[in-house]
Amino acid sequence: MHIAVCIKQVPDSAQIRVHPVTNTIMRQGVPTIINPYDLFALEEALRIKDRTGAHVTVLTMGPPQAEDALRKCLSFGADEAILITDKVFSGADTLATSYVLAAALKTLDAAAPLDLIFTGKQTIDGDTAQVGPGIAIRLGHQLLTYVSAIRSLDPSTRAIIVERRAEGGVQVLQSRLPAVVTMLEGTNTIRFADMPGMFRAARQDVRRWNRDDIGADLTQVGLKGSPTVVAQVFGPKPKAIKALRIEGDTPQAMADAFVERLFADFPQLEAALLAHLDQLEAQGART
């Protein structure tokens, strides 16, 4: 089997800055990490590798420094890493990003056919959850989103059975390969990188692809290929409401003081409770 894992190097969410003119994230001077959701996807791919001996290729679109994130993935156990980097890719929204990643995956598939493509459910810098589905649509693959567990995977029959988290509970879905799987958070725990893995990651070459290597259409990449317009980006303002201290000599006195203050602040609440009590008494009299 051949499994691809799409990851992203993202700014540390505690130190994100936004450009005041372009409304894009400023990455210079901001510490970066592997998108936490992508680590769940990587670990799931590595577990399949442990069971089946699959070949795991990890790839990302980003600036040259994103190579650090790929080497981290190699230290965990990925077999190969590809950095898709080109100045024309900068400023991409989810539509342009999914185009570049899909083009790279097509190039990779032509050399070694892909069976599974993993991504995290979303990234912490954009939170759109659109890139994984966008890749599946562009490649024409089956799409399995918000997957919480893989029940079975049979390479011989090209079938996969997964559990998918939904609002009403858990769905059990069977699909055919190739498929794109977006993993939910909390589904596993990324393994620790051992010393041989770290040495191998430091020595191994990370392949670099540009616009020519993936045959990219320049009208569909970067800012030119991004129809999304961000009108404004701002952080939420902290609320200035202070906690109210309720005091009393006894628990009953504190409860009475709380109720008194509650009804003082919300006078309509007292009338609604009294009406509800009258309704209950009327129902009791009828029964």
pLDDT at 235: 64
Sequence spans of domains, the chain: 2-220, 251-286
pLDDT tops 90 at residue 12: no
pLDDT tops 70 at residue 203: yes
pLDDT tops 80 at residue 21: no
Q: Before 178, cis peptide (omega within 30)?
A: yes
Contact 24, 63 (CB under 8 A): no
pLDDT at 10: 87
Cα–chain center distance at 70? 17
pLDDT tops 80 at residue 27: no
Helix (H) or strand (E) holding 256: helix 251-265
pLDDT tops 70 at residue 22: no
pLDDT cut 90: percent of the chain above it: 62
Per DSSP bridges, beta strands 55-61 and 2-6 are: parallel
Task: Give residue for tokens 């069977």.
Answer: 174
How far apart are the C-alpha atoms of 158 and 166, rounded to whole Å? 25
pLDDT at 268: 86
105-158 confidence digits (pLDDT tens): 999 999 999 999 999 999 888 788 899 999 999 999 999 999 999 999 998 999
Average pLDDT over residues 210-227: 91
Closest by CA position to 147, among listed 9, 47, 33: 47
CATH code for residues 2-220: 3.40.50.620
Average pLDDT over residues 75-89: 94
pTM of the model: 0.75
Q: Both tokens of residue 4?
A: 């691809």
How far apart are the C-alpha atoms of 132 and 121, rounded to whole Å? 7
Q: Both tokens of residue 169?
A: 């509970």
Residue 52 pLDDT level (bands cut at 50, 70, 90): very high
